[in-house]
Structure 1
Amino acid sequence: MTTTSSRDIYFSFFMFTADLRPDDEAYSRILIEHCRALKDMGYTGFDVHIAPQPVGGDHALEVASYVELKNRFDLAGVGDVPFTTNVGTTQGFDITSPYKEQRAQALAYLKSRVDITAILGGDAAIMSGPFLYPYGVFPVTDDGEPIWSDALQDWMAQRYVTARSSFAELVEHAVTKNVTLAIEPVKSWETPGPNMVSEVLDFLDSFESRPAGVALDTAQVVMESQGPQSFRRNVARASAQHRLHYVHVSAPDRGAVGDAWIPWDLLLRELEPVFRGPYLVEVFNAVPPFDSSMRMSRGRFWRPGEDDPTPYGSAYDVAATALTTLQEQLAAVAQHP
């Protein structure tokens, strides 16, 4: 008989929203109810997306709004579980920019995200996501022609070099806040880079500080990886460097984690002996902006307290099934290493 695993498993609020709206007290009550329901299921933490703001916004004011949100969580009794954050950079906040002023405003933006992560997550919080290069911003030539293949690799290599000094400052700031940074590589149809775990590790080779590492996403590995041998090498390399900070468990279609095309045995047999952090169940629901940005044709999992029931199933049922599935898969690997 298969038993369940006791590993820490978090749930991503990508099921519900991409914006916590920290100034909206009424919406905070909805988030609190989601936290309670997921906690009762057995999830031991949550991952929340910190929505970007327009360039020129007041970072200090924004950070203060998250202090108030955390206070609401605490008063409601859901602030005792760990919170991690998902952060992305944008074209307006780009630390790979060749322009010093743009890198400076991007660094200020990312430092504010570290501050928010520390507020929500407390000690040893994790900030993960595509925050090295702006998500979804594909380069073009001066004539407006897209840059691909070898030319794109050369272009990205220079952007990584340009980002090093600003990223070093970000790492130093994260150390003062006790926040772990986990860069997530994302598949090439979503963003030009980094696409591979190896590309993130290559970038980090010059950084001695271990708070900077990688987040490994099962969907990205299945859809974008070079294969099982590459996966094994990358896990071993990240582990040896103490840079394997977070593992996102997500189906290739970003939908329900249950009967999904996830090679559980291959993935978990490599990860379990070396990974000690939390696993994150990540389901992208068909809510804005994911429905358009990820071209979702599937229906929305209805969110209790927010949507009317639909034939596509309840977000809570999907979350419960995902938790049971991952626990069983982890237990199976533990029983038969």
Structure 2
Amino acid sequence: MPHSGTRKIYFSFFMFTADLRPTDSAYTAILVSHLKALTAMGYHGFDAHIAPGDPGGDLQAQVESYRRLRHAFDAAGFAEIPFTTNVGTTRTFDPTSPYAEQRHQALRYLKSRVDITSILGGENTIMSGPFLYPYGVFPTTDDGQGIWSDALHAWMQPRYAAARDIFRELADYAATKKVKLAIEPVKNWETPGPTMVSEALDFLDGAQAGACGVTIDSAQVVMESQGPAVFRQNVARAVAQNRLHYFHVSAPDRGAIADCWIPWDIMLGEIEPVYSGPYLVEVFNAIEPFESSMRMTRRRFWRPGEDAPVAGVESAYQVAEAALKTLRRELDAHASKARQRA
């Protein structure tokens, strides 16, 4: 059982932004300051959301802008620091669309995101996120009524079927770039599907999409799954198919990790023996677009260099450091219990 110091732990830039703004040199300097602070704490790598950008924009120009951003990070002394990415599809870039032209437009978009992921992360990095069905796009009937429950599942099935060919080609392309694809199920009040790990695995069974796998997120599992027994079944199923590509450590309220409601014994008891990849500490800060999309009522963790300090409110760095200490402590506690059982 490895010591927590040997386990790679990454930090999500959702604490700071949902858009790296790669053409903004002043903002790049702020990102570099965050990298310096977080690597000094002991984080090994980072996860960054790749914003959709202008729907009519030049995808290749977007790719090149991230190449320049990676060069800026390298020049600042972070050439050895890996990145993973978080990617979502949109109404415009929808691989589940019933229209072939739109599906292929989505494929071009997703390939560009694979390219960006490769540029930022190098070989054997991960592109994770809700990139199967467009995030937050809830279907309605012609008269504007929401589609729910059994009707929603029936509505989603042909959408998933339409995406199969796209994902087979995307997985083949990602393999040439040595990028792992990891579909992340997201809870049902954020998006209509997939909302559970089993749904993502069911899609991949039908798509036969090469090395495409899944992300398991502790917050999504606690808030959306059916319980510990199903969690164990899904982990075992993903591992048997070599599809467990990423694990996100996130509090159910998406806030601070320290003293949160993560069921550590259950989570680590299943994940630690079978997973060798990095753990991602994911804290969603009260910034746009999360304030509105996730209906955040808690105060923002103020971001050094971006926000004025707020009396009585923790800084983003304090929350990040406490999260790292908490995760390491829980990993060590789990390892100790495992040794005792052995």
**Aligned positions of 1:42-53 closer than 5 A:** 42-53=42-53
Q: Distance in 1 between matches of 2:173 and 2:279?
A: 25
**Aligned positions of 1:60-71 closer than 5 A:** 60-71=60-71
Matching of residue 329 in structure 1 with residue 330 in structure 2:
yes
Counterpart of 2:275, as a letter, is F
Tell me the secondary structure at the aligned position of residue 205 of structure 1: helix
Given that residues 168 and 208 in structure 2 are in contact (C-alpha distance below 8 angstroms), is that contact kept between their aligned partners in structure 1?
A: no
**Aligned positions of 1:133-148 closer than 5 A:** 133-148=133-148
Q: Distance in 1 between matches of 2:307 and 2:79?
A: 25
State the match for 1:174 in structure 2: 174
State the match for 2:91 in structure 1: 91
State the match for 1:211 in structure 2: 211
Tell me the secondary structure at the aligned position of residue 78 of structure 2: coil
Given that residues 4 and 324 in structure 1 are in contact (C-alpha distance below 8 angstroms), is that contact kept between their aligned partners in structure 2?
A: no
Given that residues 139 and 146 in structure 1 are in contact (C-alpha distance below 8 angstroms), is that contact kept between their aligned partners in structure 2?
A: yes
Moved more, 40-49 or 135-144: 135-144
Given that residues 32 and 76 in structure 2 are in contact (C-alpha distance below 8 angstroms), is that contact kept between their aligned partners in structure 1?
A: yes
Unmatched segments (≥5 aa) in structure 1: none
Given that residues 210 and 243 in structure 1 are in contact (C-alpha distance below 8 angstroms), is that contact kept between their aligned partners in structure 2?
A: no
Tell me the secondary structure at the aligned position of residue 77 of structure 1: helix
State the match for 1:313 in structure 2: 314
**Aligned positions of 1:1-337 closer than 5 A:** 4-208=4-208, 210-310=210-310, 311-337=312-338
Given that residues 96 and 103 in structure 1 are in contact (C-alpha distance below 8 angstroms), is that contact kept between their aligned partners in structure 2?
A: yes
Q: Give the deviation of 1:148 after TM superposition.
A: 0.5
Tell me the secondary structure at the aligned position of residue 231 of structure 2: helix
Distance change in 2, residues 1:88/1:326 (3 Å): same
Per the normalisation by structure 1, the TM-score is: 0.98
Counterpart of 1:301, as a letter, is F
Tell me the secondary structure at the aligned position of residue 17 of structure 1: coil
Given that residues 5 and 331 in structure 1 are in contact (C-alpha distance below 8 angstroms), is that contact kept between their aligned partners in structure 2?
A: no
Q: Distance in 2 between matches of 1:261 and 1:6?
A: 25
Counterpart of 1:270, as a letter, is E
Tell me the secondary structure at the aligned position of residue 48 of structure 1: strand
Q: Distance in 1 between matches of 2:170 and 2:4?
A: 38
Counterpart of 1:287, as a letter, is I
Unmatched segments (≥5 aa) in structure 2: none
Q: Distance in 2 between matches of 1:133 and 1:54?
A: 19
Root-mean-square deviation (CA), in Å?
1.0
Residue-by-residue CA offset, 1:71-115 (whole Å, 9 max, x unaligned):
000000113111000000011110000011111111111110000
Given that residues 171 and 210 in structure 2 are in contact (C-alpha distance below 8 angstroms), is that contact kept between their aligned partners in structure 1?
A: no
Q: Give the deviation of 1:312 after TM superposition.
A: 1.7
Given that residues 5 and 330 in structure 1 are in contact (C-alpha distance below 8 angstroms), is that contact kept between their aligned partners in structure 2?
A: no
Tell me the secondary structure at the aligned position of residue 180 of structure 2: strand
Distance change in 2, residues 1:284/1:154 (3 Å): same
Q: Distance in 2 between matches of 1:99 and 1:86?
A: 25
Counterpart of 1:334, as a letter, is A
Deviating runs (4+, > 3 A) in structure 1? 206-210
Q: Distance in 2 between matches of 1:209 and 1:43?
A: 32
Per the normalisation by structure 2, the TM-score is: 0.96
Q: Distance in 2 between matches of 1:78 and 1:211?
A: 29
Moved more, 318-327 or 3-12: 3-12
Residue-by-residue CA offset, 1:277-325 (whole Å, 9 max, x unaligned):
1000000000111111111111110111111101321100000000000
Given that residues 107 and 166 in structure 2 are in contact (C-alpha distance below 8 angstroms), is that contact kept between their aligned partners in structure 1?
A: yes
Given that residues 171 and 209 in structure 2 are in contact (C-alpha distance below 8 angstroms), is that contact kept between their aligned partners in structure 1?
A: yes
Distance change in 2, residues 1:164/1:209 (3 Å): closer
Given that residues 164 and 209 in structure 2 are in contact (C-alpha distance below 8 angstroms), is that contact kept between their aligned partners in structure 1?
A: no
Given that residues 67 and 119 in structure 2 are in contact (C-alpha distance below 8 angstroms), is that contact kept between their aligned partners in structure 1?
A: yes
Counterpart of 1:108, as a letter, is R
Q: Distance in 2 between matches of 1:17 and 1:49?
A: 8
Counterpart of 1:324, as a letter, is K
